[in-house]
Amino acid sequence: MAQYDKWLDGVKEALRSINMPFDDWQSRWRFDFRREFDAGSKANDAAMKANRFWWREQNRVLKQDCRNVSDCWLPRGHQGPCQPISMPRYERGDYVKAEFAGEGGMPGEWMWVRVSRCDEEKQLVFGALDNEPVNDYAGRVKLGTELAISYDKVREHRKPTEFAKH
């Protein structure tokens, strides 16, 4: 429980930094912080998701909720594209290192995939293979191959800016 409490303190601090007192909003509209913690969300990311959730709930009560997309937290008549409460775990341009099983007695390998999109509901990330496989995979998998990867096969996640230039 101590880990969760420490994480929740980080959430509260992040919410204070944007003038959204945790107790004021959580007492009105309960956000499932435990689920975010269990899913491995960073405290700051959970705070921003709660912020969007609370704004959507407030807009609903005021009958000013966006009618274009059910998960949009912006008020009715907003400018620009709708913004869902739940941001995708992996964004276009991100990189994930995915585990591939070995074939024909060869060991498996981990390879980088450049993300084009993801499906949170199905827990899939879509993208193009960004390195040459060591294994042959019967010629089906090579640099640039478009793939669908299950979230449970992702071993590492990086933003493009996290790769150092040499």
Residue 164 confidence (pLDDT): 66
Range of the domain at 40: 1-86
* 79 and 147 inside one domain: no
* 1 and 69 inside one domain: yes
* 72 and 107 inside one domain: no
Q: How many domains does the chain have?
A: 2
Per-residue pLDDT band at 23 (split at 50, 70, 90): very high
* 3 and 55 inside one domain: yes
* 76 and 109 inside one domain: no
* 5 and 82 inside one domain: yes
pTM of the model: 0.57
Domain boundary among the residues 86, 111, 130 is at 86
Residue 148 confidence (pLDDT): 96
* 110 and 69 inside one domain: no
The domain that holds 147 is classified in CATH as 2.30.30
CA distance 3 to 33: 13
Question: For the chain, what percent of residues have pLDDT higher than 90?
Answer: 59
